[in-house]
């Protein structure tokens, strides 16, 4: 049976509110009891609509692809959004439906010497999936990640990133804030403003971009049209 036709019934085992606008669901497969996917893929949440057909919304999986009995998803709250209204109404323990997995933005193997992740909002989900799934297989690569959010209140996953920095030999992660407080000491602006820091003209590099479509467009313009980087070294998924 195809991914589009198989409906997976998943139990909500944990709800984590990282910020007022970002919620994480931990889901466990009930029927079927096994769910296999590849890092970088997404699922379609079937949002119930009473007697009408469910509304479908796509979400990238945010967990290790070696785990086959469930997965994690990150959700960004959209005011009056059909999916957001449903997800933020959950209390835990509910059985919700998904189809999938879908998508072909996979981690490219064999990998290049340097891997650069640029993400915004909940675009982090795809990249955390790559890192968790591949960290034992490729522990010595040069991993760099810039995570763009608006303010300090929008920051999340700091502990998870710190743990990866401890596990991996050469992983560096930084937030980029577009509207920080005056006393913010980190990077300010947008992730695309800091491309030159990666020395990708001298180090073989693969870029993974996930999040705001405008960011992805600007990065691709700089890398492909200005710098002449081969487009096969740039993989993207827009989350708008």
Domain presence at residue 108 = no
Looking at the 3D structure of the chain, how many domains does it have? Answer: 2
Q: Tens of pLDDT along 149-183? A: 999 999 999 999 999 999 999 999 999 999 999 99
H-type helices in 57-151, by residue range?
A: 82-87, 124-134
pTM of the model: 0.95
pLDDT band at 5 (very low <50, low <70, confident <90, very high): confident
CATH of the domain at 27: 2.40.30.10
CA-atom Rg of the chain in angstroms: 18
Gap between the Cα atoms of 215 and 83, Å rounded? 24
Gap between the Cα atoms of 67 and 65, Å rounded? 5
Rounded to a whole number of angstroms, the distance between the first and last alpha carbons of the chain is: 31
Residue at which a domain ends, from 68, 102, 136: 102
Query: Which residue range is the domain that position 55 belongs to?
Result: 7-102
Q: Are residues 61 and 125 in the same domain?
A: no
Q: Tens of pLDDT along 9-22? A: 999 999 999 999 99
Q: Give me the mean pLDDT over the 196-213 stretch.
A: 97
């Amino acid at each position: 049976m195809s991914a589009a036709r198989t409906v997976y019934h998943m139990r909500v085992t944990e709800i984590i509110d990282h910020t007022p606008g970002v919620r994480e669901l931990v889901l466990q497969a009930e029927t079927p009891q096994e769910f296999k996917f590849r890092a970088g893929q997404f699922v379609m949440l079937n949002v119930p609509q009473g007697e009408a057909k469910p509304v479908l919304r796509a979400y990238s999986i945010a967990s290790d692809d070696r785990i086959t009995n469930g997965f994690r998803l990150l959700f960004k709250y959209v005011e009056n959004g059909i999916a957001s209204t449903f997800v933020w109404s959950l209390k835990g323990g509910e059985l919700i439906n998904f189809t999938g997995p879908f998508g072909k933005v996979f981690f490219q193997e064999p990998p290049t010497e340097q891997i650069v992740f640029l993400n915004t909002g909940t675009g982090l989900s795809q990249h955390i999936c790559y890192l968790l799934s591949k960290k034992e297989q490729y522990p010595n690569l040069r991993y760099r990640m810039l995570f763009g959010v608006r303010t300090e209140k929008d920051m999340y996953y700091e502990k998870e990133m710190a743990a990866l920095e401890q596990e991996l030999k050469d992983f560096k992660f930084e937030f980029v804030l577009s509207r920080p407080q005056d006393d913010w000491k980190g990077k300010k602006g947008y992730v695309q403003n800091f491309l030159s820091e990666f020395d990708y003209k001298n180090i073989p590099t693969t870029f993974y971009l996930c999040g705001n479509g405008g960011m992805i467009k600007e990065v691709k313009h700089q890398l492909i049209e200005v710098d002449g980087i081969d487009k096969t070294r740039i993989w993207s998924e827009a989350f708008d």
